[in-house]
Amino acid sequence: MTTRSFFSFSALTLVLGLSAGCASATLPQHVGEVNDIFAARNRRDLAASVPQDEKDWEKTAAEVPKLLSKPLDADGAVRIALAQNRDLRAAFYEIGIARGRFVQAGLPPNPEIDFGVRRPNDPAQPLQLDIGIEYNLTGLLILPLRKGVAEAELAAERLRVAGRVLDTAYGARTTFYTVQARRQELDLRVRALKAFQAGYAAAEELHRVGNLPDVDLATQRAAVESARIDVAEAENRLLDAREDLNVALGLSGEQTDWTVEAPLPDPPAEEVAPERVEQRAVAASFELQELEARMRVASKRAGLAQTEGTLPHVSGGFHGERDGFAWEIGGHVTVGLPIFDRNQGTVLSARSEFGAQRERYLATATSLRATVRSALNRVESAGRRARHYREAVLPAREKALAETLLQYNAMQVSVFQVLESQRQVTQTGITYVETLLDYWNARAALDQILAGRHRGLALGPAGAAPSNTPSGGGSAEAGH
């Protein structure tokens, strides 16, 4: 080793074969792993579908065109999102990133071979040949620990992506509900506009024959024009909701021609409060499981760093030197003394990381329990309100309308008052739709939590959003 290396090379890859299978893991395989998690939880409906061959990544899953060819429903929207959503697809690839790290961590260090050739100044001397082989023994010893860290990371990543699947499904579902609600709202606003137009038609005719002053006609006209704005705003809200759903479902081009026919369903007659929701939510939580996995990662990382820190760096090798016609052979061992750098900093970081994950786990569990309780409350409250609208408020409004019509027949009130009563029915219908949306969002949120995800829920403020009252109040007075 006293001779200077003439040239050297390293990193001659020795294919050891032990990780050959893993190294070729593909997208369908990553997806399959996540699907297995849901299969184990009996939630096959959340299985994502992807092309069989990764090269076909641009291909549309076979079920998507079928689902898009008929009016969409909420489950169909979820299916499409799981097949098409490209953010979700990206997340699946991220499993591949973690798997790659795991594969990488399982590879033994490569041996290094030195060749050396020296020509002595004395021409009579033959070429001097050196050959040496060097191997990192500590790296080999530490290999199972490194692999353990990477495996724990891979497991955590799978759980993270499973959570993303839930997010995607939930996003598709709630966005779909919003489309339904906005479509119904638009229908009702159009109905309100029609009522104003009918009032205006009556006013126009009565004005034409000299029975109504200009002021009443103008008032009716103003009401119609304001109602048009209400319709235009509702139209815009529907278009926005459609675009949100296109994004959630990963649709573009001709695929965005989908239709929705069914209105938001009425809430079931009696809400059954799930048993032991808190325990079930905690048991199902992907977030908690992922945090547990991250704790394991931190713990293993600390162990690894500690081992690395205390273990002297040992590498060994053999050396051969051909001097003239004879080989001289010997071996050596290099020992790095763990005197100053015993990985103290890395260990400290890893332990702190563990502590941080543990606290985050507890915080998450607390917030999860609160969220599931509030989602349950919301389901019950919104359900009760929606049922009350359906069973009490709407019938009462309709009865009021029928009675107003009778009063009209009895020549007690004007056509304008009849139409005003009709608009009250419409307005109540709009509030009912908002309450239904609140209910179905709450249902989706509760299901989402019980499926394992409690972050990013769109519960919003309690109570139906105060929808715009139809414009042009006071028109009932017209002609009076």
- Applying CB under 8 A, does 479 fall inside the site for another protein? yes
- Shortest spacing between CB 75 and another protein, in angstroms: 34
What is the contact mask toward another protein in residues 195 to 214, using x (rule: CB under 8 A)? x-xx--xx-xxx-xxxxx--
The residue (of 72 and 206) whose beta carbon lies closer to another protein is 206
Give the residue from 446, 439, 438 showing the smallest Cα distance to 372.
446
Number of residues that bind another protein (CB under 8 A): 38
| Both structure tokens of 99 | 């798997």
Any idea what DSSP says for residue 325? Answer: T
Per-residue burial over 368-403, b if 16 or more Cβ lie within 10 Å, else e, is bbebbebbbebbebbbebbbebbeebbeebbeebee
The residue (of 177 and 196) whose beta carbon lies closer to another protein is 196
- Applying CB under 8 A, does 277 fall inside the site for another protein? no
- Shortest spacing between CB 288 and another protein, in angstroms: 54
The CA-based dihedral angle spanning residues 33, 35, 40, 44, taken in that order and rounded to the nearest 10 degrees: -170
Which of 12, 124, 333, 411 is the binder for another protein (CB under 8 A)?
411
- Applying CB under 8 A, does 191 fall inside the site for another protein? yes
- Shortest spacing between CB 192 and another protein, in angstroms: 10
The residue (of 144 and 213) whose beta carbon lies closer to another protein is 213
- Applying CB under 8 A, does 413 fall inside the site for another protein? yes
Cα-flanking dihedrals φ and ψ of residue 318, to 5°? -115, 155
**Which region, judged by CB under 8 A, interacts with another protein, from 116-124, 263-271, 381-389, 418-426?**
418-426
Separation of alpha carbons 50 and 171, rounded Å: 19
- Applying CB under 8 A, does 74 fall inside the site for another protein? no
| Both structure tokens of 234 | 């509702």
Look-up: residue for tokens 């598709």? Answer: 172
Any idea what DSSP says for residue 276? Answer: T
Cα-flanking dihedrals φ and ψ of residue 332, to 5°? -150, 165
The residue (of 186 and 446) whose beta carbon lies closer to another protein is 186
Considering only residues 301-340, where is the footprint of another protein by CB under 8 A?
none
- Shortest spacing between CB 216 and another protein, in angstroms: 8
Separation of alpha carbons 467 and 459, rounded Å: 17
The CA-based dihedral angle spanning residues 438, 439, 442, 446, taken in that order and rounded to the nearest 10 degrees: -170
- Shortest spacing between CB 199 and another protein, in angstroms: 8
- Applying CB under 8 A, does 4 fall inside the site for another protein? no
Helices (H) and strands (E) in the chain, counts: 12, 4
N-to-C CA span, the chain: 114
Considering only residues 386-405, where is the footprint of another protein by CB under 8 A?
401-403, 405
- Applying CB under 8 A, does 407 fall inside the site for another protein? yes
* Chain contacts with another protein (rule: CB under 8 A): 191, 194-195, 197-198, 201-202, 204-206, 208-212, 216, 401-403, 405-419, 422, 478-480
